[in-house]
């Protein structure tokens, strides 16, 4: 691996009914562009009577982006949003000064065997927008730009790239791209995307010179104009990145901020149950206790 690239392996953790693999942040790299957190959910076989149940929990200072390949998520939040997120849809919840939400298996899937597979991504807000009013944006799969190129299907999930603009632009220059290779293919993104770039291998494998990057790994390029990789047939990639925000961001549980003091305030507010609530939902995930 050349010195202008980094390779990251998923760190697996069991959260009940399925595995989550965390790709970002890690010790040497806290953010890629404004992306500050990337979780890979599944793929997992969901059994009848064992639904996903993520109870009410808070966020500040970030936007969450939910993007699925299989399964569905019922999203509800303290703004009153009530949406089923299906494969290919883009759900973008901006917490700003504070929001709570739940994520559950939709009622119609609870008695079925199905696969759950997707990504949940956090995008840090610019410092001047960290305390903005919360908002929820939803884009159905058929509104996402999609095209065929060099034996690949390319979807522009967010931001700008390849001369196109997605409906979701976010709050700073960024991009997220979903690529599926139908045959062996070469992907050359020189001048197609701007900023830091991360390649996440969802399935299959990618070759970068003499190096092979397999499913469950992430390749981060430190130079935006030196990005030409080979995709094996059947490989699926997600590309993330964009312009760095220009100031360091800190994480504390579900909170992101450029201020450590703000993180402690959010912790205190959650423990005192001062956050807004999802209408009609009294569930509560406590702030995690420190590991001894």
If phi > 0 it is left, if psi is from -120 to 50 it is alpha, else beta; for residue 204 that is left
In this prediction, the residues of the chain whose per-residue pLDDT falls under 50 are 1-4, 6-8, 10-22, 26
* Mean pLDDT score across all residues of the chain: 88
Predicted local confidence at residue 21, as pLDDT? 42
Architecture of the domain delimited by 5-242: Sandwich (2.60)
- In the 8-state DSSP scheme, what is residue 26? B
CA 234 to chain centre: 22
pLDDT digits 0-9 by tens, 82-110? 999 999 999 999 999 999 999 999 999 99
**Model pTM score:** 0.90
Q: How many CB atoms lie under 10 A from the CB of residue 103? A: 21
DSSP codes, 156-223: EEEEEETTEE-S---SSSEEEEEEEESSSEEEE-TTTS-SEEEEEEEESEEEETTEEEETTEEEEES-
Closest CA to 127 of 287, 247, 21, 273: 247
For 32-76, what is each residue's pLDDT tens digit?
Answer: 889 988 888 888 899 999 999 999 999 999 999 999 999 999 999
Kindly report whether the peptide bond that precedes residue 25 is cis, defined as omega within 30 degrees of 0. yes
Cα 41 from chain centroid? 10
């Amino acid at each position: 691996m050349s010195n202008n690239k980094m390779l990251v392996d998923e760190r697996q953790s069991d959260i009940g009914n399925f595995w989550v693999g965390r790709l970002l942040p890690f010790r040497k790299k806290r953010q890629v562009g404004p992306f500050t957190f990337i979780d890979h959910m599944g793929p997992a076989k969901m059994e009848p009577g064992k639904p996903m149940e993520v109870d009410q929990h808070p966020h500040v200072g970030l936007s969450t982006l939910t993007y699925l390949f299989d399964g569905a998520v019922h999203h509800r939040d303290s703004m009153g949003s009530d949406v089923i997120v299906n494969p290919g849809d883009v759900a973008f919840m901006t917490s700003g000064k504070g929001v709570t939400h739940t994520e559950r298996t939709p009622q119609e899937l609870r008695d079925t065997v199905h696969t759950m597979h997707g990504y949940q991504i956090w995008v840090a807000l610019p410092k001047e927008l960290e305390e903005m009013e919360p908002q929820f944006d939803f884009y159905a799969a058929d509104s996402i730009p999609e095209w065929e190129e060099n034996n690949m299907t390319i979807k522009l999930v967010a931001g700008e790239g390849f001369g196109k603009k997605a409906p979701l632009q976010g709050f700073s220059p960024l991009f997220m791209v979903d690529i599926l290779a139908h045959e062996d293919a070469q992907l050359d993104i020189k001048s197609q995307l701007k900023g830091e770039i991360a390649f996440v291998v969802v399935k299959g494998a990618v070759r970068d010179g003499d190096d092979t990057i397999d499913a469950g790994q992430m390749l981060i390029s430190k130079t935006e104009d030196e990005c030409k990789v080979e995709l094996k047939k059947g490989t699926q990639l997600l590309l993330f990145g964009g312009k760095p925000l220009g100031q360091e961001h800190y994480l504390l549980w579900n909170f992101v901020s450029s201020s450590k003091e703000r993180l402690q305030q959010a912790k205190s507010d959650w423990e005192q149950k001062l956050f807004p609530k999802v209408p009609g939902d009294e569930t509560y995930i406590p702030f995690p206790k420190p590991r001894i």
